[in-house]
Amino acid sequence: MGPHDGTVRAVCPHDCPDTCGMLVTVADGRAVKLRGDPDHPFTRGFLCQKVSRYLERVYHPDRLTHPLLRTGSKGAGQFRRISWDEAIDRIADAFRKIAASADGPQAILPYSYAGTMGKLHNASLDRRFFHRLGASLLDRTICATAGAAGCDITLGTRAAFDPEAIVHARYIINWGSNTSVTNMHLWALMHKARKAGARIVSIDPFRCQTAARSDWWLPIRPGADAALALGMMHVIFRDGLQDDDYLQQYCLGADRLRERALQEYSLDKVSRITGLPAGDIETLAHEYAATPPACIRVNYGLQRHHGGGMAVRTITCLPAIIGAWRHAGGGALLSTSKLYPFNAAALERPDLIRPGTRTINMVQLAEALAGELPGPPVRALYVYNSNPAAVNPDQARVLQGLRRDDLFTVVHDQFQTDTADYADIVLPATTQLEHFDIHGSYGHLYLQTNEPAIAPLGEARSNTDVFRLLAERMGFEPELFQVSDEELARQALQSPEFDGIGLERLRCDGPVRLNLPKDYAPFARGGFPTPSGKCELYSPGMAARGLDPLPTYTPPREDPQTRPELAARFPLQMLSPPVPEFLNSTFVNIGSLRKQAGEPTVEMHPDDAVARGIADGQTVRLFNDRGSFVARAVVAGNVRPGAVVSQGIWWNKLSADGVNCNVTTSTGLTDLGGGACFFDNLVEVQPDN
């Protein structure tokens, strides 16, 4: 698996549904060119503006190239070079001491998310290592669990169909989804459908790039999506537009849902909650029900509110009501990740977890570091594939926790991130061009391998390499840990459903499609993997848990309509979706991209700006009880009144007062799935003097 000159097939590792195929040209051991793989059936040779600059990232002068030991105070960013030997010794020593103490190994917390989506470097030997060590478990909830839990209730799995079939759709709703930016190859197919006559609708409080390019933008009030879906159901049932046959054969509880929608979600009420005119809700419902195939791209934007789980549960009832699942390209699409039958049991070895081990929700890192959660204090934190100092909510408290002198922090990253500034030990990580991996996707149906194109820069090591070293130093079983990346890949692929798609074929042929038929439409004839085998419009499971068994509207935690006392001080609902030039907090340090992104901004409605004496281009301060940050006001009519949008996620140390938008966000959790509530966030804005 050695690097070699010529052209190497690689995969974009970033947390994005597109998982692009890439070709890297290598000459004299150096990657000289990187482009999209024209033979990739879904990503077809074009890359986003970020990843087309990936070589700038790989060869960036700021790449970490050797381990570091902290010499200054936490956060100051002062370090000196040490050897790998010393770094691994110090980490193993610290882990051993903590494990042997009265607090035990659960005082050690691994912290990772999706810096790379590759199966090996995202979740393999790391999981084995921390399970074997007996460390606390981490519930990785920061992005997608609310929607996943919501979908599970209605459909028994994540809403998905063959994304390539979307070309057949004739009515496409991007619901809380900035598809043209966050899923651009799907957007290209939506565009193809549009050329064939499809109408594209965007439901979003913000006129994001996708909304701006759609046929119709519905500027919904943040967090009101479940109410809109119930309002659509009201109209559909009232006007007899439902698919009675589909409801009767394949759904549970249609009558009860119909009654709920008709009686409890009048157009007046829904209009008041959503801030949308009743006539628009009616038109949307009529068009949606009468223009097959109809598809909803339901994405993450609308889940980041307290009621996000229920919102996704509710929205994913709509396709069944109008029988949209019958058609290729009809239904709802959240994520295709569940269609990949990777063998996580073989790869991650959850059987090594000690019974009774506690789980810490990653959204609550602030609470975990403050010792507010049950169980022993967190005495060691091992961060990889993540940048919690920038991306986590309630940032001031996260930083306060990271500053603790009695906390031993390791950060393994490619760059000296905001989090790395607080580390006791920093370890240099390889980039995607320097290691092997295999990739599924959450936005298409192709499996791929990433071949290393070049040797690791400096002394950089891959995630699996570091856990091999640590396991060896801890004296852990070689048969569990001294396993090659290639062997790990084979273990991940051990599944009958991967029949015929072995490692050899992947490495030789490039992207291979899962064993699923063209235009795969999973629920065309029912077959929902729920307990009842039906689409559960009514959920007996929810009833048994004492929860509302029917779709319902759950207001945000910080909702001006239900929290007038809070809104009197902080009246504006702040959304902070990613700026197109960055991938969460990745790429912020790439000069060309940062230049293009400019500086932190806040989009305001002219009425809200005028009321505060704020002019376009002025520097303003956004604040609430949790914290404050500065941004440049953009007053351009791109956001509905009462909402403001500050796109992220900037590095703290590259922002005006050393913090970013997450100083205002809370660690509140979603109703289902324990997800993050980044967009459920009331703030006030004032000119910054």
Ligand X SMILES: Nc1nc2c(c(=O)[nH]1)N[C@H]1C(S)=C(S)[C@@H](COP(=O)(O)OP(=O)(O)OC[C@H]3O[C@@H](n4cnc5c(=O)[nH]c(N)nc54)[C@H](O)[C@@H]3O)O[C@H]1N2
| Positions in the binding site for Mo ion (CB under 5 A) | 143
Work out whether 442 is an interface residue with ligand X (CB under 6 A).
Answer: no
Q: Which is nearer to ligand X, 106 or 681 (CB)?
A: 681
Q: Which of 511, 513, 496 lies closest to 449, judged by CA?
A: 511
- Judged by CB under 6 A, the chain residues 339 through 398 that form the site for ligand X are 384-387, 391
Q: How far is the CB of 362 from ligand X (least distance, A)?
A: 9
Return the one option of Mo ion, ligand X, none that residue 589 interacts with (CB less than 5 to 8 A, by type): none
Q: Residue 565's CB: how many other CB atoms inside 10 A?
A: 6
Return the one option of ligand X, Mo ion, none that residue 301 interacts with (CB less than 5 to 8 A, by type): ligand X
Q: How far is the CB of 662 from ligand X (least distance, A)?
A: 5
Q: Does a cis peptide bond (omega within 30 degrees of 0) precede residue 578?
A: no
Q: How far is the CB of 635 from Mo ion (least distance, A)?
A: 29
Q: Which is nearer to ligand X, 242 or 554 (CB)?
A: 554
Of the candidate spans 26-34, 202-210, 331-339, 523-531, the one that interacts with ligand X by CB under 6 A turns out to be: 202-210
Work out whether 111 is an interface residue with ligand X (CB under 6 A).
Answer: no
Work out whether 113 is an interface residue with ligand X (CB under 6 A).
Answer: yes
In angstroms, the CA 423 to CA 71 distance is 10
Query: Which one of 412, 444, 534, 626 is in contact with ligand X (CB under 6 A)?
Result: 412
Return the one option of Mo ion, ligand X, none that residue 175 interacts with (CB less than 5 to 8 A, by type): ligand X
Question: On the CB side of 91, how many CA atoms lie within 13 Å of its CA?
Answer: 33
- Judged by CB under 6 A, the chain residues 159 through 178 that form the site for ligand X are 175-178
Work out whether 302 is an interface residue with ligand X (CB under 6 A).
Answer: yes
Can you list the positions of beta strands (E) in 159-287?
171-175, 199-203, 216-218, 251-252
Query: Which one of 26, 114, 257, 318 is in contact with ligand X (CB under 6 A)?
Result: 114
Return the one option of Mo ion, ligand X, none that residue 205 interacts with (CB less than 5 to 8 A, by type): ligand X
- Residues 6 or more apart whose Cβ sits within 8 Å of residue 246: 320, 322, 323, 325, 326
Cβ distance 300 to 176 under 8 Å? yes
Q: How far is the CB of 683 from Mo ion (least distance, A)?
A: 22
Work out whether 275 is an interface residue with ligand X (CB under 6 A).
Answer: no
Q: What letter represents residue 70's amino acid?
A: R
CB nearest Mo ion: which residue? 143
Q: How far is the CB of 667 from Mo ion (least distance, A)?
A: 17
Cβ distance 561 to 630 under 8 Å? no
Q: How far is the CB of 194 from ligand X (least distance, A)?
A: 18
Q: How far is the CB of 427 from ligand X (least distance, A)?
A: 7
Place of tokens 């996708």: 210
Structure tokens at 670: 């979603």
Query: Which one of 204, 367, 394, 684 is in contact with ligand X (CB under 6 A)?
Result: 204
Return the one option of ligand X, Mo ion, none that residue 578 interacts with (CB less than 5 to 8 A, by type): ligand X
- Residues 6 or more apart whose Cβ sits within 8 Å of residue 424: 69, 70, 90, 408, 409, 410
Cβ distance 356 to 340 under 8 Å? no
Q: Which of 135, 125, 127 lies closest to 468, judged by CA?
A: 125
Work out whether 16 is an interface residue with ligand X (CB under 6 A).
Answer: yes
Query: Which one of 9, 11, 15, 20 is in contact with ligand X (CB under 6 A)?
Result: 15
Q: Which of 178, 207, 148 lies closest to 336, judged by CA?
A: 148
Return the one option of Mo ion, ligand X, none that residue 649 interacts with (CB less than 5 to 8 A, by type): ligand X
Of the candidate spans 4-12, 297-305, 469-477, 650-658, the one that interacts with ligand X by CB under 6 A turns out to be: 297-305
Query: Which one of 47, 135, 661, 683 is in contact with ligand X (CB under 6 A)?
Result: 661
Cβ distance 318 to 285 under 8 Å? no
The DSSP result for 335-404, as a single string, is --GGGS---HHHHH-GGGSPTT--EEEGGGHHHHHTT-SSSS---EEEEES--HHHHSSSHHHHHHHHT-
Question: On the CB side of 686, how many CA atoms lie within 13 Å of its CA?
Answer: 8
Pairing state between β 171-175 and 199-203: parallel
Q: How far is the CB of 99 from ligand X (least distance, A)?
A: 22
Of the candidate spans 198-206, 250-258, 334-342, 521-529, the one that interacts with ligand X by CB under 6 A turns out to be: 198-206
Q: Which is nearer to Mo ion, 127 or 304 (CB)?
A: 304
Return the one option of ligand X, Mo ion, none that residue 302 interacts with (CB less than 5 to 8 A, by type): ligand X
Work out whether 305 is an interface residue with ligand X (CB under 6 A).
Answer: yes
In angstroms, the CA 687 to CA 455 distance is 50
The DSSP result for 298-336, as a single string, is E-SGGGSSTTHHHHHHHHTTHHHHTTGGGSTT-EEES--
Structure tokens at 172: 């496409």
Structure tokens at 176: 């809380």
* Helix or strand holding residue 11 (H, E): strand 6-11
In angstroms, the CA 275 to CA 349 distance is 49
Cβ distance 267 to 639 under 8 Å? no
Q: Which is nearer to ligand X, 105 or 308 (CB)?
A: 308
Q: How far is the CB of 31 from ligand X (least distance, A)?
A: 16
Give Dmax (Cα) for the chain.
72
Work out whether 578 is an interface residue with ligand X (CB under 6 A).
Answer: yes
Q: How far is the CB of 121 from ligand X (least distance, A)?
A: 5
SS3 415: coil
Query: Which one of 154, 679, 684, 685 is in contact with ligand X (CB under 6 A)?
Result: 679
Work out whether 463 is an interface residue with ligand X (CB under 6 A).
Answer: yes
Structure tokens at 293: 């195939």
Total residues in contact with ligand X, by rule CB under 6 A: 58
Work out whether 662 is an interface residue with ligand X (CB under 6 A).
Answer: yes
Return the one option of Mo ion, ligand X, none that residue 159 interacts with (CB less than 5 to 8 A, by type): none
- Residues 6 or more apart whose Cβ sits within 8 Å of residue 487: none
Q: Which is nearer to ligand X, 217 or 408 (CB)?
A: 217
Work out whether 449 is an interface residue with ligand X (CB under 6 A).
Answer: no
Residues that bind ligand X (CB under 6 A): 15-16, 113-116, 121, 142-143, 175-178, 181-182, 203-206, 208, 220, 222-223, 225, 299-302, 305, 384-387, 391, 412-415, 417, 429, 463, 575-578, 580, 582-586, 648-649, 661-662, 665, 678-679
